[in-house]
């Protein structure tokens, strides 16, 4: 509940660097809006929409159950995949299961991702997937969040070995994600060697878990509040190292940011904070309407860029300037 309340009060940050990208308009696209295919090519993850609801809530009683039900029905009505929040609490206390199970109950045929931290064992991964008949498992990496959390973990050894063991043994695909501090080229290379199916770059510039956790502690760790790889840069970092499915998240709020994310090499985009705010402050029907608008806006912009599919966007030119251009230069990425 603290996370939800502080996520809403601290809001979405700025600084994911999407503003440093400008599209190059194509006046002869030779394409109609109806020809645009929004279905992403994501291998063993069969997604119908390039937009998904990223991991947020679960556990925490009736209120979380109600929000998860709203999010699950929205996913059902719009064809989006949905990730639940970390299921560790429900593995430890079965009374917490209902707020996760409601997601499958409301959306029996939809694509649902389980979620656990990198401390999870293979047995826990299997139980989490079974709990909601999940189609994939997200494993989150959240070192900075844990370090900022007064009661958080302080030892992060052995995570890659556990991820590899789970990826090689679980019967559903494994997605590894950050929680808003970004995945680097070096980390993505390690994950590529650990047989993961997908990486969610989850960069800096949206929900800020250092800010959220600092709200819960007397001595603030200010240095972590501006920590992390901006989302646009994180997508590029991951895509250079990893040939599998790449997800983009971290401060994505509109279709324009999504098109930029796809242009940089992402296959689908996840929204957490923005959907939570809409669900809680504006309600279910407005949330569904906004997702339909996102789909419509994507098709409009893709038409103007001459891209008939999400994959085609990778071949569209764009101009990168400002901080993102400097970042790429200094990192040696062209």
Q: Cβ of residue 13: shortest distance to ligand FNR, in angstroms?
A: 8
Q: Nearest distance from residue 31's CB to ligand FNR, in Å?
A: 30
Residue nearest to ligand FNR (CB): 206
CB of 242 to ligand FNR, least distance (A): 17
Q: At its nearest, how many Å lie between ligand FNR and the CB of residue 322?
A: 21
State the DSSP string of 220-274: --GGGTT-S-BHHHHHHHHHHH--SEEEEESS--SHHHHHHHHHTT-SEEEESHH
- Would you call 110 helix, strand, or coil by DSSP? coil
258-75-10-85 Cα dihedral, nearest 10 degrees: -110
> To the nearest whole angstrom, how small is the minimum distance from the Cβ of residue 225 to ligand FNR?
15
> Judged by CB, which is closer to ligand FNR: 247, or 327?
247
Contact set with ligand FNR (CB under 6 A): 3-4, 7, 12, 54-56, 85-86, 115, 138, 140, 177, 179-180, 202, 206-207, 249-252, 271-274, 276
User: Phi and psi (nearest 5°) for 312?
Assistant: -60, -30
Provide the minimum distance between the beta carbon of 182 and ligand FNR in the complex, in angstroms, as a whole number: 10
Query: Residue 42: which residues within 8 A CB-CB, separation 6 or more?
Result: 198, 245, 267, 268
Q: State which residue, 156 or 308, has the beta carbon closest to ligand FNR.
A: 156
Which residue is it, tokens 């050894």? Answer: 157
For ligand FNR, the closer CB: 26 or 227: 227
Contact of 180 with 250, CB cutoff 8 Å:
yes
With CA atoms as reference, report the closest residue to 79 among 298, 326, 307.
298
Task: Provide the pairing of β-strand 81-83 with 51-53.
Answer: parallel
Query: For residues 292-329, b (16+ Cβ closer than 10 Å) or e, as one string?
Result: eebbeebbebbbebbbbbbebbeebeeebeeebeebbe
Q: Which is nearer to ligand FNR, 36 or 113 (CB)?
A: 113
Q: Which is nearer to ligand FNR, 206 or 305 (CB)?
A: 206
Considering the complex, state which of residue 203 and residue 307 has its C-beta at the smaller distance from ligand FNR.
Answer: 203
By beta-carbon proximity to ligand FNR, the closer residue of 40 and 59 is 59
CB 85 to ligand FNR: min, Å: 3
Strands (E), 181-231: 198-200
**Helix (H) and strand (E) counts for the chain?**
14, 10
């Amino acid at each position: 509940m603290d996370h939800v309340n502080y996520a809403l009060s601290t809001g979405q940050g700025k600084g994911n660097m999407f503003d440093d990208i400008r599209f190059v308009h194509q006046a002869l696209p030779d394409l109609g809006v109806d020809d645009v295919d929004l279905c992403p090519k994501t291998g063993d993850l069969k997604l119908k929409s390039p937009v998904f609801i990223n991991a947020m809530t679960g556990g925490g009683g009736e209120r979380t159950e109600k929000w998860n039900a709203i999010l699950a029905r929205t996913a059902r009505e719009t064809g989006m995949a949905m990730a639940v929040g970390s299921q560790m609490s429900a593995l430890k206390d079965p009374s917490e299961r209902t707020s996760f199970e409601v997601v499958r109950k409301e959306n029996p045929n939809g694509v649902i991702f389980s979620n656990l931290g990198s401390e999870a064992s293979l047995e826990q991964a299997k139980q989490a997937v079974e709990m909601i008949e999940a189609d994939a498992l997200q494993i989150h990496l959240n070192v900075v969040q844990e370090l900022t959390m007064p009661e958080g973990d302080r030892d992060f050894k052995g995570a890659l070995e556990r991820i590899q063991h789970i990826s090689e043994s679980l019967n559903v695909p494994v997605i590894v994600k950050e929680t808003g501090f970004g995945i680097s080229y070096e980390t993505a290379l390690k994950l590529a060697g650990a047989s993961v199916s997908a990486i969610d770059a989850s960069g800096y510039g949206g929900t800020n878990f250092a800010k959220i956790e600092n709200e819960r502690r007397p001595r603030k760790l200010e240095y972590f509040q501006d920590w992390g790889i901006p989302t646009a840069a994180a997508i590029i970092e991951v895509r250079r190292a990893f040939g599998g499915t790449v997800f983009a998240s971290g401060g994505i709020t509109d279709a324009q940011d999504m098109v930029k994310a796809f242009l940089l090499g992402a296959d689908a985009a996840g929204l957490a904070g923005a959907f939570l705010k809409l669900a809680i402050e504006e309600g279910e029907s407005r949330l569904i309407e906004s997702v339909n608008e996102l789909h419509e806006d994507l098709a409009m912009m893709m038409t103007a860029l001459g891209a008939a599919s999400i994959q085609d966007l990778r071949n569209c030119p764009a101009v990168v300037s400002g901080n993102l251009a400097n970042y790429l230069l200094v990192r040696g990425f062209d």
